[in-house]
Amino acid sequence: MTLLTEATDVFSAAASERCVVLFIAKSQPRLPGVFDAGHLAAIGAVLGELEAEGWLLSLRAMVDPSEKTAPTAFETGFAHDADVVGVFEAPTISAALRGTVRLESAGWSRRFATQWLVGPREFAAVNGIGPAIDRKWGFFALWEWNDAWAAATAETRRDYDAECDVAFQGDLSFNVNIAGRHRLDWASSWHHLGVWESDRPETVDAAIRGHERAADFKFTTSRHLLGRRRPLTELLAGAPGGIS
């Protein structure tokens, strides 16, 4: 796979067959008999099978594969038109596509209307700078390069990447973990996905201000989603959770 942009001081190229599986989900109407404990158990069984097949089922595991965690996702409905957003990592694109079908068939589609986006890894994950902390918030950035980027010279793009790299260094200084970068444009209008782990929304806001100062968004159209981490089983079951 040819990189759309070059590796930088922050991001090192890490192209592989492994693929992100991003899900942006909206709750279906909760009607009697549509989604029940049997469907929840069936989805849980598929998730167990996927993990045994080499899937990573949480953002935490994508940043640190050695850390074994239960499947998690992020509650986003307090601020967005999507109720749940999350990421898995599959061994290959084919495995990713088959896995989404298996989840939907097990009952996922009865619980959520979901946009699935799949794409290979481009850049390796990068850890934030600072002590170990609980990063219970996820920030999801989708972007596509705009016409101004397409018209820019290679030198202009390199200068832009260098400016953005300063902003990404700022993210790391806020002790934000970045799960690398993934390529989505083989089957989506979005070119890339970046996902962060952070301790609180205020940290994300401060980091994004650094990107605004670096004029990060002059060459992109972006969609950002912020959510609080919760066990996926709770989100599937519709268990209430507080935002704090």
Q: Could you tell me the residue range of the domain that residue 111 belongs to?
A: 19-237
DSSP label at residue 104? I
Query: Rounded to two decimals, what is the model's pTM?
Result: 0.92
Provide the CB-side half-sphere exposure for 163 (13 A, CA): 16
Query: What pLDDT band is residue 8 in, cutting at 50, 70 and 90?
Result: low
Query: What pLDDT band is residue 5 in, cutting at 50, 70 and 90?
Result: low
- Select from 115, 116, 66, 57 the least CA-distant residue to 89: 57
CA distance 114 to 122: 24
Q: 160-212 pLDDT, tens per residue? A: 888 888 888 999 999 999 999 999 998 999 999 999 999 999 999 999 998 88
Q: 150-170 pLDDT, tens per residue? A: 999 999 998 888 888 888 899
How many domains does the structure of the chain reveal?
Answer: 1
Q: 98-111 pLDDT, tens per residue? A: 999 999 999 999 99
Q: Check which CATH number belongs to the domain holding 27 and give it.
A: 3.30.70.3420
Query: What's the pLDDT score for residue 217?
Result: 85
Domain contains 3:
no
- Select from 62, 64, 90, 92 the least CA-distant residue to 74: 62
Q: Are the CB atoms for 179 and 89 separated by under 8 Å?
A: no
Domain contains 1:
no
Q: Are the CB atoms for 16 and 89 separated by under 8 Å?
A: no
Domain contains 215:
yes
Provide the CB-side half-sphere exposure for 130 (13 A, CA): 15
Radius of gyration of the chain (CA): 18
CA distance 185 to 53: 26
Domain contains 85:
yes
Instruction: Read off the tokens for 8.
Output: 């930088």
Domain contains 242:
no
Report CA-CA distances (Å) from 55 to 24, 28, 61, 70, 122: 18, 26, 10, 12, 18
Domain contains 11:
no
Mean pLDDT of 131-147: 96
Domain contains 14:
no
Domain contains 121:
yes
Q: Are the CB atoms for 238 and 164 separated by under 8 Å?
A: no
